């Protein structure tokens, strides 16, 4: 008989893992009933290396010797073998989520050799694709406008003064 | 005497022309500084620690942290409220922003050029993962804006981020680079890092007057060093 259980990685569990900060924190207590799948990090993102850990133990099912992760939903190989760990019934594998993976919720399934199968909820968040726009180019485009104003002012003063001088000169030469 | 007046008039005209020309042909501010092009890889930093999502950045030396009075444990999740970068004299408020309807990351309004934003769909600073902060490089109203000098940061410079829970996280710059927007390494920037890391982002590179946008982004990569209860220096 095939035993199917679903264990969602609860927020609390995820938080506990995050607080631990390292995949070592994934290792759950050996032999606890309840087929737990831990995903780290969760939420994850496309292109991110993501670790799945499963505890295949179930009293009625005996020991598991191997486990496989079904990656087809995630755009990965259908049967991804998981590695045994120092803990009995605990298997682990790390995959890189495809960069093309759409954001959303996934329920990849894990099958253990003892007939236990489990799935967990993996949240895949979008990575903002376009580069941010942070500036309007003021320092790259703004010219010293005030210099121009002063310059034009000087030109004006010069022109007026020149006119006055010329006029005086002409008046002077007549007399 | 008239000769002197004539000379004065000519001087006025020449000076006026020169100033008018200079005024319209020189920039009021220098364009924002850019990080150096790292040897061998145009616009790409040498593979910094933590560059790959699954590779933790170098962990701080606990003895070093103890000497400075830091605790090295990652920080618990708490939204950032302020940032301080003494080496480039930055001291700014941080607000949390998510994505626009179009899926772009939101940045502070240009009307608030000295405000920075934290990408609130990502990790909080000091927690495992990459926390991402944005700030403007410039704005017509003020010229140089909050992250104008981001390109001056070099490996080893310290960044302090104070969280809502009143603790301050200390981060050390390990890389800085200018990326063309077309090849913006979004994954490397946003991807999970097992050791807490921080990315500061602003605009940079050449400015395209036809689109009104900078062609590149300056990105500073930093890693978590430790935390302390005191406020940022």
In tens, the pLDDT along B89-110 reads 999 999 999 888 777 888 999 9
**Mean local confidence (pLDDT), B145-167:** 93
Nearest residue, CB atoms, A136 vs list B53, B121, B212: B212
Instruction: Tell me whether B186 touches chain A (CB under 8 Å).
Output: yes
Identify whether B219 is part of a domain.
yes
Token pair, residue B64, equals: 């070093």
Q: Select the highest-mean-pLDDT range: A22-36, A123-137, B205-219.
A: B205-219
User: What confidence score (pLDDT) does residue A14 get?
Assistant: 37
CA angle at B62 for the pair B60 and B64, rounded to the nearest 5°: 80
* Residues of B whose CB is below 8 A from A21: 74, 128, 194-196
Q: Is the pLDDT of residue B86 over 70?
A: yes
Q: In sequence order, which residues have a C-beta less than 8 Å from that of residue A22 and are 6 or more positions away? A: B194
> How far lies B93's CA from each of A17, A75, B29, B89, in Å?
30, 41, 24, 14
Instruction: Tell me whether A154 touches chain B (CB under 8 Å).
Output: yes
Q: How far apart are CA B10 and CA A120, in angstroms?
A: 85
- At residue B41 the predicted structure's pLDDT band, cuts being 50, 70 and 90, is very low
Nearest residue, CB atoms, B17 vs list A96, A155, A162: A155
Q: Is the pLDDT of residue B46 over 80?
A: no
Please tell me whether the peptide bond between B186 and the residue prior to it is cis, using omega within 30 degrees of 0: no
> How far lies A99's CA from each of A74, A75, A78, A83, B104, in Å?
10, 10, 18, 24, 17
Identify whether B178 is part of a domain.
yes
DSSP category for residue B108 = -
Identify whether B93 is part of a domain.
yes
Token pair, residue B38, equals: 């790292």
**Mean local confidence (pLDDT), B149-174:** 92
Token pair, residue A104, equals: 């959303």
> Among all residues of chain B, which has the CA nearest to that of A131?
B181
User: What confidence score (pLDDT) does residue B169 get?
Assistant: 94
Q: Is the pLDDT of residue B36 over 80?
A: no
Identify whether B69 is part of a domain.
yes
User: What confidence score (pLDDT) does residue A164 get?
Assistant: 86
Question: Residue B40 maps to which CATH number?
Answer: 2.40.260.10
Q: How far apart are CA A134 and CA B22, in angstroms?
A: 28
* pLDDT 10s digits, A32-74: 444 578 887 877 888 888 889 898 888 888 889 999 999 999 9
* pLDDT 10s digits, B178-191: 888 888 888 778 87
Instruction: Using the CB atoms, write b or e for B118-131: b if 16+ within 10 Å.
Output: bbbbbbbbbbbbbb
Contact status, residue A157 vs residue A165, Cβ threshold 8 Å: no
Identify whether B14 is part of a domain.
no
Maximal CA-CA distance, chain B: 83
Alpha-carbon gap: A114 to the closest alpha carbon of chain B (Å): 31
Decide: helix, strand or coil at residue B163: strand
Query: What is the CB neighbour count within 10 angstroms for residue A106?
Result: 18
Identify whether B6 is part of a domain.
no
> How far lies A116's CA from each of A68, A111, A163, B214, in Å?
11, 6, 102, 55
Q: Is the pLDDT of residue A115 over 80?
A: yes
Instruction: Tell me whether A171 touches chain B (CB under 8 Å).
Output: no
Interface-testing mutation among B5, B8, B32, B53, with chain A (most A C-beta atoms within 10 A): B53
Classify the phi-psi angles of B103: left when phi > 0, otherwise alpha if psi is within -120 to 50, otherwise beta. left
B27:A21 CB<8 A: no
**Mean local confidence (pLDDT), A81-100:** 90
Instruction: Tell me whether B3 touches chain A (CB under 8 Å).
Output: no
Boundaries of domain holding B214: 29-228
Determine if the pTM surpasses 0.80. Answer: no
Identify whether B15 is part of a domain.
no
User: What confidence score (pLDDT) does residue A40 get?
Assistant: 79
Identify whether B221 is part of a domain.
yes
- Total count of domains within chain B: 1
């Amino acid at each position: 008989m095939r035993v199917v259980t679903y264990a969602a990685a609860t927020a609390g569990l995820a938080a506990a893992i995050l607080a631990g900060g390292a995949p070592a924190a994934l290792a759950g207590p050996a032999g606890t009933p309840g087929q737990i799948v831990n995903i780290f990090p969760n939420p994850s993102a496309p292109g991110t290396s993501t670790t799945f850990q499963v505890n295949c133990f179930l009293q009625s099912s005996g020991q598991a010797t191997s486990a496989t992760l079904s990656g087809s939903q995630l755009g990965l190989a259908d049967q991804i073998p998981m590695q045994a760990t120092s803990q009995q019934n605990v298997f682990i594998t790390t995959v890189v989520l495809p960069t093309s993976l759409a954001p959303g919720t996934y329920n990849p399934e894990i099958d253990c050799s003892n007939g236990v199968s489990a799935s967990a909820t993996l949240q895949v968040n979008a990575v903002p694709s376009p580069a941010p726009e942070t500036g309007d180019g003021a320092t790259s485009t703004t010219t010293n406008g005030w210099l121009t104003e002063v310059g034009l002012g000087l030109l004006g003063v010069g022109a007026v003064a020149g006119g006055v001088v010329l006029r005086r000169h002409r008046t002077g030469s007549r007399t | 005497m008239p000769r002197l007046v004539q000379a004065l008039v000519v001087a006025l005209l020449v000076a006026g022309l020169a100033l008018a020309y200079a005024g319209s042909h020189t920039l009021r501010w220098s364009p924002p500084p850019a990080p150096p092009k790292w040897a061998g890889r145009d616009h790409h930093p040498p593979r910094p620690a933590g560059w790959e999502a699954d590779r933790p950045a170098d962990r701080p030396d606990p003895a070093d942290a103890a000497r400075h009075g830091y605790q090295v444990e990652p920080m618990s999740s708490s939204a950032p409220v302020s940032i301080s970068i003494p080496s480039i004299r930055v001291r700014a408020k941080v607000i949390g922003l998510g994505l626009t309807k179009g899926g772009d990351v939101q940045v502070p309004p240009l009307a608030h050029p000295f405000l920075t934003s934290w990408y609130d769909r990502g990790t909080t600073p000091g927690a495992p993962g990459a926390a991402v902060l944005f700030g403007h490089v410039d704005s017509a109203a003020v010229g140089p804006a909050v992250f104008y000098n981001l390109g001056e940061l070099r490996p080893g410079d310290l960044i302090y981020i104070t969280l809502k829970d009143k603790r301050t996280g200390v981060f050390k710059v390990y890389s800085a680079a200018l990326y063309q927007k077309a090849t913006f390494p979004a994954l490397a920037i946003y991807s999970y890092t097992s050791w807490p890391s921080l990315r500061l982002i602003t605009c940079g590179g050449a400015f395209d007057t036809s689109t009104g946008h900078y062609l590149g982004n300056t990105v500073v990569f930093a890693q978590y060093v430790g935390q302390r209860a005191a406020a940022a220096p």
